[in-house]
Structure 1
Amino acid sequence: MNLIELIFIAIGLSMDAFAIAICKGISIGKATIKDAAVVGLFFGGFQAIMPIIGYYVGEGFHGLVESFSYLIAAALLIILGLKMIKDSRGEKDTTKGLDFKNLLVLSVATSIDSLAVGISFSLTNVALFPAVVIIGLVTFIISFIGVKSGSFFGMKFQSGAEIFGGIILILIGLKVLLEGLGTI
């Protein structure tokens, strides 16, 4: 697999992280460079770690991972989307900043597909280290941009943007579920 192919794989894997990074930027409000970097590190880090895990899990568990990973990702995204909508109706906690547990759950939810990619890497003799570095870096950059973009629009539209972000998470979760069920 050449560099261009790896970059395209990384871009494809980072699209869910990008959409959710936009939602994080909306919910944060005035996101700093540090906020965007933290989200980028979480998403990029998990997108890089999961293929490593998948690579070593290998062919033996290939069917098991594929058979239920979409359910986990869909459930996490839908629950977080509903929580985001619910939170948009309450008072804002401006001192809270980024929530570690929330970022952890979102990072896992957006990187489950990377686990399956790691399994495919083990079957196709891909050089693992360069591949995960590229995936992690691309996801970091795209997530960073997503947070800053979401923050810009979130500051303009406040709670309406947070509701919209929650709806996006729910729709992504439903898309993951429907794809996993083979209906789309």
Structure 2
Amino acid sequence: MSPLAIAILALGMSIDAFIASTGRGAALRRPSVGEAMRTGLVFGVIEAITPLIGWAAGVLASSYIAEVDHWIAFGLLGAVGGRMVFHALQRGPEGEGAALNRSVWVLLATAVGTSLDAMAVGVSLAFLDVNIVVIAVAIGCATMLMSTGGMLAGRLLGSRFGRTAEIAGGLALIGIGASILVDHLTG
């Protein structure tokens, strides 16, 4: 696989994490740079690990992973997105309740939900002659940078658009989950 193809794959795999972290940054209202970097690191590490898991599973039993990954992604992203919308609607105008979105569990669930497509890519890469470690590192680094940037962009959006940005982020996660499900069920 050429370096350009790896770069395009890495960027493609990190778009959903960027969207999720932008919504998270908006929901947290003024997250610190350290918190943005922590979020980027969590997203990046998980996004780097999942293609390795997918590759290993693809080598062992690709049909089993491919049969359920879209349902898991849909469930996780739908639940996290729905929770974001719910809390945005419940929160007062001063941002009451935003602390709930600082939960490590919410961060991990979002990171796993947005990285399941990278696991599916890892499964497909198991059938090609590629260096999976290089690809996984590229995906992880791109995701870390884009997620950190997304948190900081969400930070700016949150101070201006608050609830609306959080609702949009939640709906985007639900949409990503539904898109993954539809793509797998229809083709």
TM-score (norm. length: structure 2): 0.90
Could you tell me how far 1:11 is from its partner in structure 2? 0.6
Residue equivalent to 1:160 = 164
Query: Which residue identity lines up with residue 50 of structure 1 in the other structure?
Result: T
Structure 1 outlier segments of 4+, above 6 Å? none
TM-score (norm. length: structure 1): 0.91
SS at match of 1:30: coil
Cα RMSD for the two superposed structures: 1.7
Could you tell me how far 1:5 is from its partner in structure 2? 0.8
Q: CA separation in 1, counterparts of 2:112 and 2:38?
A: 15
Instruction: Find out whether 1:109 has 2:113 as its counterpart.
Output: yes
After the TM superposition, which of the residue ranges 98-107 and 121-130 deviates more from structure 2?
Answer: 121-130
Instruction: Find out whether 1:174 has 2:178 as its counterpart.
Output: yes
Determine which of 128, 148, 160 is the counterpart of 2:152: 148
Instruction: Find out whether 1:54 has 2:54 as its counterpart.
Output: yes
Q: CA separation in 1, counterparts of 2:98 and 2:164?
A: 17
Measured against aligned partners, the alpha-carbon deviations of 1:41-84 in whole angstroms (never above 9, x if no partner) come to 11111110011112222333211111121111111111111111
Q: CA separation in 2, counterparts of 1:95 and 1:81?
A: 16
Identity %: 31
Could you tell me how far 1:160 is from its partner in structure 2? 2.3
Q: CA separation in 1, counterparts of 2:75 and 2:99?
A: 28
Q: CA separation in 2, counterparts of 1:48 and 1:85?
A: 28
Could you tell me how far 1:150 is from its partner in structure 2? 1.2
Partners of 1:35 and 1:98 within 8 A in 2: no
Determine which of 122, 126, 134 is the counterpart of 1:122: 126
Residue equivalent to 1:11 = 11
Q: CA separation in 1, counterparts of 2:82 and 2:145?
A: 27
Could you tell me how far 1:6 is from its partner in structure 2? 0.7
Residue equivalent to 1:32 = 32
Partners of 2:91 and 2:97 within 8 A in 1: no
Partners of 2:28 and 2:99 within 8 A in 1: no
CA separation of 1:47/1:86 partners in 2, compared to 1, >3 Å: closer, same or farther?
same
